[in-house]
Structure 1
């Protein structure tokens, strides 16, 4: 039976099979800059096995994580001045994937090379390009994140590995109403206040913006530790979703002292960067940083804010992984939406549209 004779169900299956699992022709975060030291890192990103390394002169490279000789992962090798040397028979590859040396013989075989990825390091982040065509080159620059170079802030971060689909993490970050239930020890607060926060959801192109205000509320433990609030505070949560990452600006000012719509508002700020890069359809890498503006003792408070943020994200990881296991267990049961799901649902529609090949802009 040829394609023209296929029944509608078969045609639908063929069309779905041709769609990518993840949005392509865009940049994803592959690592935090601080991760790449003198040893290579092997990671699976969007189902592709990649080795990342930094040469002694500071350049970052990403190659297919296999030696073309006998398939040992190059991440088992060592980094040298000229590139990465395989840990099995010593073939040396440069940052473009070209084999420079085969120990014990003068001639390097013409077919001795591995595929290379386009990478760019900026703002303490390492971005990698995944195109819809093999060996495609970037059509745009990676997103900037100037907070990491802003002298008003101090920051640090880390990496989590999730045994859960990346869009469940998007859902979690776009819906901060859960803070009052999941994060009581750090950035939580009164659960009813979180669930009843003033909320506005906007969308443009491939982005979603969620703004939440909680006026005249009690500051959570992390806030009071870092800033000398007088009593009640007006809190804000501004979440900006892009398919490759989210930017979350949260904070507070003393109640009734400043407009929460002012871009120059004072008080305590926490600016979070959250890049969720799929490993597979059921697992994810979560690269995060948090920047803050402590009133005093910047280094000490930065350390505490980072530690408490890590504890917060660990709490999220436990919830999301348990959620995913239950979703599989009760796969035939429908889920019911409530008012806090507007932002996550919009983001899911964007990802679905991009996977279908309709994207407004690369991110």
Structure 2
């Protein structure tokens, strides 16, 4: 087996430069989070304030007043912008100061950095550019499942005291679910490890697919669908640098083709926005969308809660993993096994994009 050496990443004052793939759309949050209060978040090492004007525009500025540096997130949202809570300077969504109480002339330099935002399908996307301030070169990603009338969905936000690529690894390799998530989405652990894993890549996208016919349905599946003792189960993971899309589910044995695009059965469409906070901490924005069996129409709350429990189990594992990596330092090298093909491809893509931000 080959060894993958993990060098510890140390945060630097330069924000995301040299640490994260830049010139990318990252998830900043969910539309539902923007109410009448500003939200402070550090994204890729950069302190940002998110807000929605009374006119409905989602905006993001650096979280700093240009006058005396109070975080703008301490201020208040108004019709056309955000007002600093110290001396009342009012900023438009483009970062320009448009009012200074008691002063008519507004200096041209009275502005702060603004970020391009795209709000679509209940998601808030933010364009994180390199130091040259590159404008978006492509549209924010689509995620139509939030608007699919056949599905209901729920959302959540986790904070990890661990680097973002460890979260990538966990999501792209689902062989762990039988061991970590026995009470929810687990199932037969050995079947997960023994099933054929098909890994492909195209551009900066990695896909990992595992089919598991004739497997016992895990507790989450049985709570949402009237499965008997066995089901035909699938796991399809798609990694795309700033987020992952995971399509899992199952159908009654013999009821259809397990890999058909229009397959029936129980569907779980998972969205996973993995946004670095710093080099050693991560924001994790997730949603789960599921369909409903005619005889079990009101299961979305149960499914969302069990998925939340699952992700909490992941968080505990990943934070313990990272704490141990720091404890062992340079001795914490990894020995690859057969389930690591997808995660290693994803890591190579991230490494390339960190070195070459424009190689989309």
**4+ residue runs over 3 A deviation:** 296-300
Distance 1:275 1:80, change over 3 A: same
TM-score scaled to structure 2, two decimals? 0.93
SS in 1 for 2:135: coil
The total of aligned residue pairs comes to 345
Identify the structure with bigger relative contact order (alpha carbons < 8 Å, sequence gap 6+): 2
Once residues 253 and 275 of structure 1 are traced to their aligned partners in structure 2, the CA distance between those partners, rounded to angstroms, is 27
Deviation, structure 1 residue 332: 2.4
| RMSD (CA atoms) | 1.6
SS in 2 for 1:173: helix
Match of 1:36 among 27, 34, 37: 34
Instruction: Please tell me whether residue 150 in structure 1 is matched to residue 148 in structure 2.
Output: yes
Once residues 32 and 105 of structure 2 are traced to their aligned partners in structure 1, the CA distance between those partners, rounded to angstroms, is 37
Map 1:164-183 to 2 at 5 A.
164-183=162-181
Once residues 339 and 358 of structure 2 are traced to their aligned partners in structure 1, the CA distance between those partners, rounded to angstroms, is 25
Once residues 260 and 203 of structure 1 are traced to their aligned partners in structure 2, the CA distance between those partners, rounded to angstroms, is 21
Gaps of 5+ in 2: 1-15
Once residues 187 and 124 of structure 1 are traced to their aligned partners in structure 2, the CA distance between those partners, rounded to angstroms, is 25
Once residues 358 and 99 of structure 1 are traced to their aligned partners in structure 2, the CA distance between those partners, rounded to angstroms, is 31
Map 1:271-310 to 2 at 5 A.
271-296=269-294, 300-310=298-308
The equivalent residue for 2:106 is: 108
Once residues 64 and 201 of structure 2 are traced to their aligned partners in structure 1, the CA distance between those partners, rounded to angstroms, is 41
The equivalent residue for 1:137 is: 135
Deviations 1:275-319 (A, max 9, x none): 100111101100000000021487731111111111100000000
Deviations 1:172-203 (A, max 9, x none): 00110111111111101121111112210101
Deviations 1:185-224 (A, max 9, x none): 1101121111112210101110100000111011011111
Once residues 227 and 180 of structure 2 are traced to their aligned partners in structure 1, the CA distance between those partners, rounded to angstroms, is 24
SS in 1 for 2:176: helix
Most deviating of 281-290 and 18-27:
18-27
SS in 2 for 1:332: helix
Deviation, structure 1 residue 360: 4.5
SS in 1 for 2:298: helix
Map 1:156-235 to 2 at 5 A.
156-235=154-233
Deviation, structure 1 residue 106: 2.1
Distance 1:45 1:234, change over 3 A: same
